[in-house]
Chain A
Amino acid sequence: MSSVLAAKLDAVSFSYDADAINRQAMMNFTAEFDRGVTTAVMGASGSGKSTMLALLAGFERAQSGTIELEGVDATLSPPAERPLSMVFQNNNLFAHLTVAKNIALGIAPSLRLKPSDTKEVEMALDAVGLAGYGQRLPAQLSGGEAQRVALARVLVRKRPILLLDEAFASLGPSLRDDMLDLVAALTRDNHLSTIMVTHAPQDAQRIAQNLVFLDRGHVVLSGTTADLLGKDGQNDVLKRYLGEGSQT
């Protein structure tokens, strides 16, 4: 039932090869993402994780199939009109704008702010543990702080779905755990549906209730994280991936 789903991909096909001469390069996604929970999207490099997120966000156009977001067909919607916010691994902030302005862009692209908007920006900064950072420039922030600012902007945008495209991959283990905990808290407190691309099974185990596993442009496994990553639940594809992961 679409009404309980945050997002649904129904036979969504896509290829970076515009002429689709190479049929093997064609990705085809069918997946469902539950509302109000965090779903991890995992898979080897080149399996299509980031492409799936780009299709959900509207940065790439599906060649066939439908994308539903919050129960509404969003296949042809432009990125700004989709009910979601996305945090990338890099370049989430405009380097020449202050932290406050970077967040405020999530409220008003014209940056003409009402006093209530300014207050909202301050509250968002407070929620991500960066109270008082408003006048700093992105260059004055650490990697973790910059991602926190991006999460603060997610809060002011008030979109129900949050996409994380390996957002914390460049952070150290301890800082990454802190950020994941923050995401878990924000997801819970703001009733978000979070879809998180990650390479690391421990990230999924830390905060994701559900897991979708991709292989060569197709969803090959989906279920709860506990079931899929538990010792008994691992099938051959996942075992191979985890084995490779542990070697690297």
Chain B
Amino acid sequence: MRLFGLPLVLPQIVAVLALASLYGNQGYVTLSLQKIGVDMPSIYGLTGILVAHVFFNLPLIVRIVLGALGAMPPEYDRLAHQLSLGAWARVIHIYWPFMRGSLFNAAALVFMLCVTSFTVVLTLGGGPRATTIEVAIYQALTFDFDVARAVVLTALQLLLTSISVGIFAFCGGELQSGLSLNTQRPMVERKSVWVRVLSVGAIMVCGVFIAAPFVAIVSKGLAADLIKLLGQETVRHAILTSFTLGFCAASLCVVLCLALCEGAVQAGARRRWLYAHASSLILVVPPIVLAAGWFLLLRPWVNIYAAAPYLVVVINAAMALPFAMRFLLPARQIAHDRQSRLCAQLGIVGFNKWRHILLPVLRGPMLIAFAFAFALSLGDLGVIALFGSEKVQTLPHLILQRMGSYRTNDAAGLAFILCCLTMALMMFVDRRSASTKAGDSS
């Protein structure tokens, strides 16, 4: 399950490079298959886009559905065995009711993520036959300088995402349900031999599919001249810029998230929903649409490239908000439920309440939210692609440039560095989550 958590935080530009080094024209898999006379379809185009989206979303669906099954009381399974229910009867009467809702939520979330996909489509597609509205907005603003078309496309994308979210909400779907990194306990089930063989086979195929790109990143990355790369001024500058923007975005994200959490726990039942879901607005208004909006709004008044760092920080913070809320809101709600009356009675308010009561309880979730937002911002290519320049260049932006100029070794080396940075942050999140859970259960 930890392996299945990695694609969720792997920067998309890094994953694209990894998939290209596996399934591209000179990729390991392509060359190996060619030796036995099998030709792979080109990774560039719809095939590659689909493969990349399966890579990112397969683990997400597995985690969501397994999470829903993990919520099933263990007694149900024991009861089913005691009643001698067959495999099919167990699926229909016991597992399916738990899976049904989560499958719909997972499908809805994946649909939204694909509709708003940018980096994958920009790097593996981009042509008229394989593009998304997001990429078309980017191309209209950066290559064609066609503001009118960008406005129309932005409105179209907003309409599309709003209708989609509206339909899912109408059908009782919950887009937020997938925005969690938590792994649920796997079900302990006695299986027949053929079910066990099938399960192991499926897990192995999926495991290899997910793990192979990581192996490719490490192998290609270590083959690049990392020392030389780190010696370059532009690389060092890009790393520093990424860190600065990431730090600011993560800080802003945590502050915004705390404010929303405070509103959610203090508000009445009706407004609580509004606060709790305000963070998910970014799913309806994707980063590129948001960035395009700011681009169009500010362009007549300010030098848009000078304002780039601020816009990147704000939009990256908004991008991480739904995830940060997943970590912080439950902790803040528990603190409120357990302690609000005691605090009110003892007169613990304002700074005293924050320092002595809330900060010790929320420190862990805040750090997790911060690290997660930091990792997301480090790997983001959406907003910076629109606002990036020679002066404001992040690591993903630099990777894109090196890919564009066919310096693939450099791009692989930079991708390896970026991957190490984000993975280190996510390992921190993982360990911190585990220790927080252990603390809660003790």
**In residues 84-103 of chain A, which contact B (Cβ within 8 Å)?**
85-86, 88, 90-92, 94, 96-97, 101
Give the residues in chain A near B341, CB-CB below 8 Å: 57, 59, 79, 86, 88
A80, A91, A105, A106: the one within 8 Å of B356 (CB) = A105
- A18 to chain B: closest residue by CB: B268
Q: Across the interface, which residues of A come within 8 angstroms of B344, CB to CB?
A: 58-59, 78-80
Q: Is A111 an interface residue (CB 8 A)?
A: yes
Q: Which of B347, B352, B353 has the most C-beta atoms of chain A within 10 angstroms of its own C-beta?
A: B347
How near does chain B come to A141, taking the closest CB pair, in angstroms? 13
Nearest Cβ in chain A — how far from B173, in angstroms? 29
Give the distance in Å from the alpha carbon of A109 to the alpha carbon of B342 in the complex: 12
- Considering the complex, give the chain A residue whose CB is closest to the CB of B345: A79
Chain B residue, CB-CB nearest to A163: B345
Tell whether, in the assembled complex, residue B345 and residue A105 are in contact, meaning their CB atoms are under 8 Å apart. Answer: no
Q: Are A96 and B360 in contact (CB under 8 A)?
A: yes
A139 at the interface (CB under 8 A from B): yes
Q: Give the secondary structure class of B's interface.
A: helix
Assembled-state Cα–Cα distance A94/B349 (Å): 15
Interchain nearest-CB distance for A56 vs B (Å): 11
Residues in chain A near residue B361, CB distance under 8 A: 96
Are B346 and A109 in contact, CB atoms less than 8 angstroms apart?
Answer: yes
The verdict on A110 contacting chain B, using a C-beta distance below 8 Å, is yes
Report B334 CB to chain A, min CB distance, Å: 10
Tally of B interface residues using CB under 8 Å? 17
Q: Tell me if B348 and A109 are in contact (CB < 8 A).
A: yes
Asked if B314 is at the interface (CB within 8 A of a chain A CB), the reply is no
Q: Decide if the interface of chain A is mainly helix, strand, loop or mixed.
A: loop
Q: Mark A57-97, 1 if CB is under 8 A from B, else 0.
A: 11100000000000000000011110001101011101011
A111 surroundings in chain B (CB, below 8 A): 352, 356
Complex CA distance for A102 and B435, rounded to whole angstroms: 24
* Docked complex Cα distance between A214 and B37 (Å): 86
With A91-B339, A105-B356 given, is the CB distance from A86 to B346 under 8 Å?
no
Complex partner residue of B342 from A81, A88, A96, CB under 8 angstroms: A88
Closest B residue by C-beta to A105: B346
- Minimal beta-carbon separation of B354 from chain A (angstroms): 11
Docked-complex contact A92 and B346, CB < 8 angstroms? no
Q: Which residues of A contact B353 (CB under 8 A)?
A: 109
Chain B 287-311 interface residues, beta-carbon cutoff 8 Å to A: none
Q: Does B405 contact A (CB under 8 A)?
A: no
Residue of B338, B342, B360, B361 with most chain A CB atoms under a 10 A cut-off: B342
Q: Which of A37-68 contact B (CB under 8 A)?
A: 57-59
Closest chain B CB from A30 CB (angstroms): 24
User: B192 near A: Cβ within 8 Å?
Assistant: no
Determine how close the nearest CB of chain B comes to the CB of A159; give it in whole angstroms: 9
- CB of B357 within 8 A of chain A? yes
Report the nearest A residue to B348, measured CB to CB. Answer: A109
| Cα separation A157 to B344 with both chains bound (whole Å) | 14
Produce 1/0 per residue, B351-390, CB < 8 A to A. Answer: 0110011001100000000000000000000000000000
Q: Is B34 an interface residue (CB 8 A)?
A: no
Q: How far is the CA of A85 from the CA of B442 in the complex (A)?
A: 28
**Which chain B residues lie closer than 8 Å to A88 at the CB level?**
341-342
Bound together, the chains give a CA A27 to CA B201 distance in angstroms of: 63
A92 to B361, CA, bound (A): 15
Complex A-B: 17 CB contacts under 8 Å: A58-B344, A78-B344, A79-B341, A79-B345, A80-B345, A80-B347, A80-B349, A81-B347, A88-B341, A94-B356, A94-B357, A94-B360, A96-B361, A97-B360, A109-B349, A110-B352, A111-B356
The 8 closest A-B pairs by CB, nearest first: A80-B347, A96-B360, A79-B344, A91-B338, A109-B348, A109-B352, A79-B345, A110-B352
4 further contact pairs, Cβ within 8 A, besides A78-B344, A79-B344, A80-B346: A91-B338, A94-B356, A96-B360, A105-B348
